[in-house]
Structure 1
Amino acid sequence: MTLKINTALAFLHLFLVLFIGSVDASLALGDDIPCLKAIKASFEDPFGHLSYSWKFNNQTEGSICRFKGVECWHPDENKVLNINLSGMGLKGTFPRGIRYCTSLMGLNLSNNALAGTIPSDISMLLPFVTSLDLSSNSCSGEIPKNLANCTYLNVLRLDHNRLTGNLPEELGLLTRLREFSVSNNLLSGRVPDFPAGQITNDNCYANNPQLCGGPLEPCSAHEIKLDSFKIGFISGYVVSAAVLFIYFSFSWLQLKIMVLHRLQNWVRTKEEADELFHYPTLNHKIEIPGLEILVNRISLAELCKTTDNFSTDNIIGMGKTGPMYKATLQNSLFLAVKRFNNSLQFESRFLSELLALSRLKHDNIVPLLGFCTQRNQMLLVYKHMSNGNLHDLLHGEPKILEWPLRLKIAIGIARALSWLHHGCNFRLVHGAISSKSILLDHHFEPKISNFGQTIISNHGGVMFKYENEDDSGFLVNSGVWESDFVKDDVFKFGIVLLELLTRREAINAGSSTSSSYNNLVEWINHVSKGPNFVLGDAIDKSLCGQGFDDEIMEVLRVATECVQPFPNQRPTMLQVHERISSLGERYGMITSAYDSGYSINQDTTSTGDEILPVDQNH
């Protein structure tokens, strides 16, 4: 009878494990709506920030990416990338339901009124977190050792809380950590031994008078008080060690064989890595102080793992600066990794793209997730765009492209350029707009990429320092900025518009000074200005007779104005966006140029009057 009962209980236990596992699996494979519901339910929201914005109903599907403080991997996909609820006055404890956001990388709950302890299994709740900010709350208890298992952490801020006890020495194993602060707590004991140069800010331990070691006062005084306590333990450990030695002496040979085997594997892996990076490296190391505040630093080993050691089978594109690889994460999400060719020429473009994209967040700009400069490699990591680039869509295998989709793409590009030129905190010119630099997500939403020739300034075009590779420079005034840089973006956007309308290659139409007739601009001028011009002679034949002629004609007018030979004859991108976005209202498309992005005026290596970097062959 007892055996039957035990068997029944075992089957019941197995059923419950499988059932709970299946529930967790279904949540992991689905969207993150259950995660946000659980987070909202765990907080008191006295100021109504979540009550007003986080509304769950039948229309929630495809909308959580618009919730306040929520950033998704892809718009409308409902997989959350970052959550920022800072300064909302929320009350409660750490939300355990956050485990259902299975792809979350950033969590900011700072400047609230949260209490209670940090979960002891936090690495299980946030397995892929790269940035965790719980500062300026009322969290208490000890910092859990398990936090050291959040191995992807770049940023960890626990300052201005009521945390007590010792700092776990295991935190020193967080090799990716670049920003760390536990100041203004009640911590004691020795601080972790971080690698030299990793954590350089001494203030990160401020106002914890019982902490010692590292950059603080030596711990010798504290250690003396503990000597008598340690002696008792040491005697016990000696006896235990003797027993363990007798036990393990019987298997020392097997242990030796295992160690030798792993050592051989390590040597083999190192040889493969050395062969992978066999070409000459730069003579100096790329250092960008403070950049980790804006974007995650990712290890070379992790990128090798996710791209299968940069296998040629994972190459999804090849540009002038180097190949683009598809990377597969443990959670089955995909990233794109751009590997810049290793030369001083391409270092300038790498830094330009890194400095620009780390500061810019916009629905129509490709999101930069991380970078790597280990072993003098130059690698940038982006969200993967499943529909490739606009050039291949237009000029690759023939596909039916309806007019509303083409208009949607045109409006999205114009919205981003208008924001870059007129809407963000600093002036920015892209410098290399083309159909190849426009990526398309799974909803065919356009994302501008390839910021390698970007020019940045904080001074609104009044006076700039123009830096090039030989460190010489010159100043440009606002007129030159507008005519030589801003209006060049407008010209190149006009070419992209013409490609969308005609489905013809741009060929040598990259410069307004081209005297060749073998390009799209010359061809459209010839066709459209003829005495017997018919719209059907200029546009893609598949668009004719579909009821969109008036809209197409207006976009064609805008395109021809953008490619005027003299810069002062071209409109601004703000004017362009206003004209073509008004056509999109018929299809319910977003019309505001400024609602979809924000810029971070973070000081890294650039100064207030720099344009960074500069390639004179732009």
Structure 2
Amino acid sequence: MNSTEFFFVSTVLLIFVILPFSISVTLDAITPNQPLREDDVLLSPTKIFALGFFKPGNSRNRYIGVWYNKIPIKTIVWIANRENPIVPTAGTGLLAIHGDHGGLVIYGEDQNNPIWSANLTVSSPINSVIAKLLDTGNLVVEINGEKVWEGFDYPTNTMLPSMKLGLDRRSGLNWFLTAWKSQDDPGMGNCSYRIEPTESPQGFLYMGQTPLWRSGPWTGERWSGVPQMENKIFFNITFVNDQDELSIMSSIVYESIFEKMVIDESGNVERSAWQDEVHKWAKHWSAPDGQCDFYGKCGPNSICDPYPKFADKFECNCLPGFEPKLQHEWYLRDWSGGCVRQEGSSVCQNGEGFMKLERLKLPNTSTARVNISMSREACKEECLRNCSCTAYANADERQGGSGCITWHGDLMDTRTYLDTGQDLYVRVHANVSAQHEKKSNSSFGKKMKLGVSVACGLLFFLLFSLACWLVKRKRNGKRSQDKFLASTSWEDSSATTNIDESGINSELPFFELSTIVKATNNFASNNQLGTGGFGSVYKGALDNGKEIAVKRLAKNSGQGIGEFKNEVVLLSKLQHRNLVRIIGCCVQDEEKMLIYEYLPNKSLDFFIFAKEVFLDWIRRFEIICGIARGILYLHQDSRLRIIHRDLKASNVLLDSAMNPKISDFGMARIFGAEQIEANTNRVVGTYGYMSPEYAMKGLFSVKSDIYSFGVLLLEIVTGRKNIGYYHDSPYSNLVGHVWDLWKENRALEIIDSSLGESYPVNEVLRCIHIALLCVQEQAKDRPLMSAVVFMLGNDVAIPSPKQPGFLLKRGYHTSGDPSSNTDGAYSINDMTYTEAEGR
């Protein structure tokens, strides 16, 4: 062999020797014959998670960890050897099945002494042992398909869906989270979050041994101190408390959502979801959040109120029957000493009772006693019989409340909420109860009462003068309101003969302009919720704490005055859980405003089009049914037959529980009992939701709203707006595109991609089928809303739909801009308009 041949053979041999050690391998399992090396990656079945070696931050140490494989930002969610890293001097790492006992181990350079072990000994043959990564992120060891060890039994700083926190009472495993020491060191830090296994379990966040935050007890659906758990759009919660285990676990409704709860080194717990559009984790809950969240902020026997009604009031107050232990420190805002019983108000005497405090996070239940089968009245009697009992409450808040919790001793870490929370009954002496009742019934103290008695004649004169002035002002205001009402004419008044033309429903309150100005902080820009052709909508709060939404008609608006009166009259006469509720109005000077209930979750289009928040199918279907019930009420069940004429996604608002409420009745029309159809020379509404006969001829009826509902139903199912451009369809709107796919049995292709495959196919197809019935070209072919509600709620035979009415065809425009339409009705995308002439 010459030198050239020798060099060639040597090179080939060298490549074959080095190649196996320099190329990374993607594994689907670790077996006794297939370990995981430093450059290898173990993937879950659908490649959601990956497991491998990593270096945290600026550290040179290596760890075995699990991270999201489909997220560009490497997010570590679990670590095997967080306390036993592979240091730089330890050589190459290896994750393997131990050859002798079959357990999972991590080796450094010395493969006789593992750096980390799963503490598992297998009696079965070693070749039957396999380690794999599940799509939940759980690393498991199995023998013949049976799970014998899992990483989720040893959480680190992250809680994933399907991971439990709590206690396995059979094995003694304690599932809790601990923060990293630092960003460079994932070892067990000083902060932890765990579930305390007392009679009334609750979660505690600790800094060392010091509690930082408390979740409150379990109420049947959520932690008492975590009202955000009521919103179950993203995940469901499973809570178990029996002889085998105490645990809480969340499960994601839709698998493509990546969600996690993390405890960080500073002592914060944060729940967040991955937003692919902006490539970041978006926080949707954290604790502690605000001063009243910190454990024992106000000391024992006190209550923390983050929403004091007056600026000069402290957030800390003593519970009824208690007073500050150290008054001078209390005035210096040092509340750590808390409160003690008022002198002369000791309990366990005749005539004592309980004072009810509402909307609270219940006090610490670590030493509380629980009887889950006891009624509230029996709970009260039980507490009265025991002199050490200081308060009681329901253990379960569902279905009006049940079960009994009693506290014995100090009441620690209680706080208030605005619109949620539980009731607490605090034991008080009889004179304390009488004092509070007396205080609530009168705003005068003893000195003021004495002054009143001395100057009663003068006060009577002043009150009489004030009353005369108020009557005069009210009359002037009424004349101003009547003048406004008389100046606005009804469109096609022949159709409104059943409305009292003398004015607005007398039961609807008129608000003073000063009240609204105060409630909205003088219409501050940070309180503005949105704008439209009519003007702007502002968020506000009345003096009693009630949140409101104020629709302010623009002074220079050329439209909206008639619609304003229309909406006042209609909403004052309509009451339904799926219709927005009007609280009152304000007509003063040049201002004209409507005051509604405030709905915190914006409008439906924010969820189905903006997609900033995921809406699962269950919630979508509930919204669809709620809208249908609201329309049925308008068309059939209310004392007036109402045609909305502007039903669209932005006019469906969502309350805190995601219940839909139809809004914006400015364009609505009232029909007589026997009236079927009407004609108008002024077409109003939103193009894309209008029925063909209305947009082209000005003809409207209940079937016009049915058409709009069909369009809205398709938008909810598909997550797309009706007005768009679909290159693979001869029509440029959603209705036409769905019709094409329906005829070809391809309707599932148009379903919102964010739903993935987590929806009932038959139910979704039935919704599309119903929607196509609603958008049929001929009004007579469309079902009534009563039939729609029945079809939505029952799996019955449904007739085949006929061709829909199309308003946007490809021949009308080619630019993809609906505004370029030169034939048919006007198109202004998703704006409501009032000036188009009917054809």
Query: TM-score, length-normalised on structure 2?
Result: 0.37
Higher relative contact order (CA 8 A, sep 6+): 1
- Structure with greater helix share of residues: 1
Query: TM-score, length-normalised on structure 1?
Result: 0.50
- Structure with greater strand share of residues: 2
Structure number with greater Rg is: 2
